[in-house]
Amino acid sequence: MAEMIQFTITPPTEAIAVILKGEWDGWAETNLKRKKDGSWYTRKKVPEGVWQFGFLCDGQWLINPLNPKAVSPFGTENNVVTSGGDL
């Protein structure tokens, strides 16, 4: 079953635009909203499973160091999220 998940990142420098990209939807882009404290967030419905994702901050690939990590088949580091069920 799909689960609504909040994704958050605080870029190391002030960003103009932050985008979430995840494998659950073919790496489609979702714009994040900026909070007053400089962090960015969005909520997405994510299908059941274990998925890799990351953020484009002004065009630079970043991950949230507070979230679990994995290395992609291309050698880049991504965050990992688990959605739904007993995974």
Distance CA 32, CA 8 (A): 8
Q: How close are the terminal C-alpha atoms of the chain, in Å?
A: 11
CATH number of the domain where residue 11 is located? 2.60.40.10
Please give the helix or strand (H or E) that residue 66 lies within, else none: none
Range of the domain at 38: 3-83
CA distances from 79 to 8, 23, 36, 52, 63 (A): 11, 11, 24, 6, 6
Look up the pTM and report it: 0.92
* Tally of domains in the chain: 1
Mean pLDDT by groups of 10 residues along the chain of 87 residues: 94 95 97 96 96 97 95 94 75
